[in-house]
Structures are given as C-alpha cells and as structure tokens.
Chains A and B, each alone.
Chain A
C-alpha cells in the first residue's frame, strides 16, 4: 500500500441503486420481430416529408454565422461561440439529411462538422472553406439531389476532404 502517490483523487461515496425495471414488467419479453423492424424501416425510407424548407433554415443560419464571423473581431472570448454558431446548423444538417432521404447532405455536413470541431481559428482561409461547404450543401439541396449522388457525390466529398487535408497540413493540425 505504500507505493501509491500521495496526490490521489478523493474516493467518492457512491450509492448504487437498483431501480425496478418497470418497462420490462410492462412490455414482457421476446423483443420485436424482423418483420416489425423491416416495416418500421420502410416507414422511415418511404415518407414524403419535404426536407428543403428545413434545410434552407439551417443553411441560412449557417450563412449568417459565417458572415458574422467574417465581420467580427475574433479573440479568445468569442472564438468558441462563433465556431459553435457555424457548427450547430451544420450538425443539424448532418443529423437530418439522411433521415429525409438526403444522405449526401449528411455526408458533406458530417465532414464539415468534423472540420469545425478541429479548427482553432476563424481566419479568412478557415471561413473560405466553411463557405465552400455551405455552397456545396446548398447546391445539393436546391438540386434536390436525393440518394448518395453517385460518382459526382463521391467526387464532391473527395474534393472537400482534400481541401480540409491541405488546410490541416498547412496549419500543422494533426
């Protein structure tokens, strides 16, 4: 016992509580059949809800946030908030695109979200890349490009990815 460092985090008195499993008591056992799950999946894939009005709201918020960052004097006090303002509509597009049959929007917005989670500055170069992502997603939505966009979709994602990789290399971000 004497080989322990003095600087240890204090032990916490954790009370463990076993909660009655009310849900199990109500639903019983056996799970759900593949047939039920397939039917639920069909519902998700075949609904006809229009994604474009929602996407336009998020795109417009994203554009506003990019413009706000362009016209702001950025310092350590507002940097995180400005990044978050761009990131949030981006994450919304990523989350909702594929749910409304726009998986290419999810893919592009997913890359954009990863980019925004990594950057630690909002200089012109960073904001130019953000604008490029915004413009690309806007084109996909305006063109109602459902599905994965096939070879052109792959080429778009590939090119945006290359831009990000060059940025990381130039700014020595790993």
Chain B
C-alpha cells in the first residue's frame, strides 16, 4: 500500500515558470492530480483563499509579495480559510539568521534549493507522519518551532507550561492530595 494523493489539492507558488513546471511534474509523478499554481505571493494568497488547498509549496524570493509574506497572510489574515495548512518554503538561502526569520512567520518545512525528488518527498512525509502541534502565543502563531524532543531541547524555556513542568519536577505540587 502506498500514499494516494488523488484526493489532495496542492498549491505551488513560484515566479520562475520553468521551475514551476518542474515541481508540478515531480508532484504529478507522486500521484498528485489536483495542482493549483500561482506566480507570486499575492496571486498565491488569492488562489489559497479560493481553493483552500491541503498543502502550500512556495518559493521565498518573489515580487511583489514573497513567500514569507504569503505565509504570514495564510497564518494571520482573517479571510485565510485554513490558518493551519502545512507550508513548505523553498529557498536558496541557507544562512541560519535568514532561515530563523522565515521560520518565525510559521513555516512548516524548509526545502533548500537545489533539491532532488527525495528531498521533496521527505518534507511531505514528515508533514504527513510527524505533524507538529501549533503554538499560539504573544508574537507567534505557527507550527511548534522546537523541533527536538523536550528531553533534548537545550534552549531557553520561556513558556509558562515549561515553568509548570519545572515546578512539578521541583516540588511535585500535583502529588499532594489536599482533600
């Protein structure tokens, strides 16, 4: 048994037409039949609102509206039909500072260009098999940015729930029966 993409709809946003055709043909070879396309972020958001796809694959660098701005709109605008849709951002940028900026608008997966068919498949597979929870907090809405498991996470723990975890491990308040 293999994945069947027959009932899925995927939106590709890419201003480079030859590249758009290339990605389309790879997805078609994966079995995706319903592909919607747009040539920039503005048209992409319009198509997103009118077709409500199951997945968005977008390039980063486009004018007048780029892939990061498109993602911001999908995640935050009122008329977005699905703020939780998985978004794959394709980019030639690999510098950490730039990737982190993009991650903070709510990208689900990054796909570094140039890529091969297996690279694209890996992102789809991860979205399907290991979906991440969404986080809504002051200043951020999007898939959980902590990709490592809590046991291996070494960064600053800023969530109130982290503090609760810490308290519970420190003093075990929840273990006390007040009745």
* A, B from the same assembly: yes
> Is the CB of A140 closer than 8 A to any CB of chain B?
no
Q: Closest residue to B167 on the A side, CB-wise?
A: A1
Residues from 138 to 173 in B contacting A, C-beta threshold 8 Å: 138-139, 144, 156, 158-163, 170
Known: A26-B8, A30-B3. A16 touches B22 (CB 8 A): no
Q: Which residue of B lies closest to A87 (CB)?
A: B93
Contact of B2 among A33, A47, A95, A99 (CB under 8 A): A33
Most chain B Cβ neighbours within 10 Å, of A9, A13, A26:
A26
Known: A14-B135, A43-B26. A19 touches B1 (CB 8 A): no
* Chain A interface mostly: helix
Does B176 interact with chain A (Cβ within 8 Å)? Answer: no
Q: What residues on A are CB-neighbors of B55 within 8 Å?
A: 23
Distance in angstroms between the alpha carbons of A17 and B139 in the assembled complex: 16
* Alpha-carbon distance between A113 and B92 when the two chains are bound, in angstroms: 9
Assess the A29–B1 pair: CB atoms within 8 A: yes
User: Which A residues are CB-close (under 8 A) to B76?
Assistant: none
B170 engages A23 (CB within 8 Å): no
Interface pairs (25), CB distance under 8 Å: A12-B159, A14-B160, A15-B136, A16-B133, A19-B133, A23-B86, A23-B128, A24-B128, A24-B131, A27-B4, A27-B7, A27-B128, A28-B1, A29-B3, A31-B2, A33-B2, A38-B117, A41-B117, A44-B116, A47-B22, A94-B113, A95-B113, A96-B114, A99-B19, A106-B114
On A, residues with C-beta under 8 Å from B are 1, 9-19, 21-24, 26-33, 36-41, 43-44, 47, 49, 51, 54, 88, 91-92, 94-100, 103, 106, 113, 117
